[in-house]
Amino acid sequence: MICRSVVVGFSIVVFVSAVLLPVAACAQRPADSTRMVDVMGTPARVLTIGLDEREEGRPVLFLHSGAGAPLETWGEWLSVIARLAPVVAYDRPGLGESPFDGELPTPERVAAHAHELMRVLGVDPPYVLVGHSWGGPMILSYAGRYPDEVVGMVYLDPSEPDLTPWEYLGASDAEEYASRLAEYDQFIARLNLPPGMEAERQAIATFEASAPTARGLPEDPAVPTAVLLGTQVPSVPPGGPSYMNKDR
């Protein structure tokens, strides 16, 4: 079985080298830097690789992790893809080592925060946006707000922006949807999530519960785009909703 990090890294390498950049797989690994920077009045942890060696006009890979995931989620493949292009990865407010800023992390808010992060870092466009899971709607929101900055999109098992609320929970009717939603909410309440993760959960729940036309996401931009969909079903945590186990 191929682990997800291998597939993720391979997908980005192929996409970037074949579509956007000259082949540079033999280049040495650039130096990296992890630090805290002030973004909109709150510290944010950011990891950058290869920015000091960046040539003018060369795209930067801007990575957006899935729900609740810190920048470590990208694993050792960061050093591989950094041989092809400079990399920026970060912890959204309330995740990893970035303190929560008290704001509901809607797609619009996350896009504005990410844009300000790049300004603070002094990293000019163009960018190739990479989004895993919930990071998919995040990069789509970014591209819609700042289309002139984006030259490529990579979706890794993205959350589907066009599903109805029923489809998100795999329900067949309103009664089953209400039952599954209540079971899920009870499970989440028992987890006692920290404020930042709970705020992100609320943002996702609001997004999923709304009609697709009310979510405010733009159409995909007219730039090279890759979508990678995995087949491995994640493990259901102990005490998780029974329908998740049934539908595996």
Query: Under a CB-based contact definition with an 8 Å cutoff, are residues 120 and 99 in contact?
Result: no
Please state the pTM of the whole predicted model.
0.85
Domain range summary for the chain, segments of one domain joined by +: 4-162+218-246
Q: What percent of the chain shows pLDDT beyond 90? A: 60
Q: Which of 7-21, 111-125, 149-163, 180-194 has the highest mean pLDDT?
A: 111-125
Q: Which of 24-33, 119-128, 168-177 has the highest mean pLDDT?
A: 119-128
Q: What does DSSP assign to residue 71?
A: G
Rounded Cα distance, 244 and 150, in Å: 36
Q: What does DSSP assign to residue 2?
A: -
Q: pLDDT digits over 78-133, tens only?
A: 888 888 899 999 999 999 999 999 999 999 999 999 999 999 999 999 999 999 99
Q: Which of 148-162, 196-210, 226-240 has the lowest mean pLDDT?
A: 226-240
Q: Which of 23-27, 112-116, 224-228 has the highest mean pLDDT?
A: 112-116
Coil, strand, or helix at residue 93? Answer: coil
Query: Under a CB-based contact definition with an 8 Å cutoff, are residues 154 and 166 in contact?
Result: no
Q: Please list the alpha-helical segments (H only) found in 103-173.
A: 107-121, 135-145, 165-168
Rounded Cα distance, 81 and 202, in Å: 32
Please state which of the four CATH numbers 3.30.70.270, 3.30.230.70, 3.40.50.1820, 3.30.2130.10 is assigned to the domain occupying 4-162+218-246: 3.40.50.1820
Looking at every residue in the chain, the average pLDDT score rounds to: 85
Tell whether the model's pLDDT for residue 17 goes beyond 70: no
Q: Which of 1-5, 19-23, 50-54, 205-209 has the lowest mean pLDDT?
A: 1-5
Q: Please list the alpha-helical segments (H only) found in 156-237.
A: 165-168, 174-191, 195-209
Tell whether the model's pLDDT for residue 26 goes beyond 70: no
What's residue 1's pLDDT?
33
What's residue 19's pLDDT?
44
b/e 205-231 (16+ beta carbons within 10 angstroms → b): bebbeeeeeebebeeebebeebebeee
Coil, strand, or helix at residue 156? Answer: strand
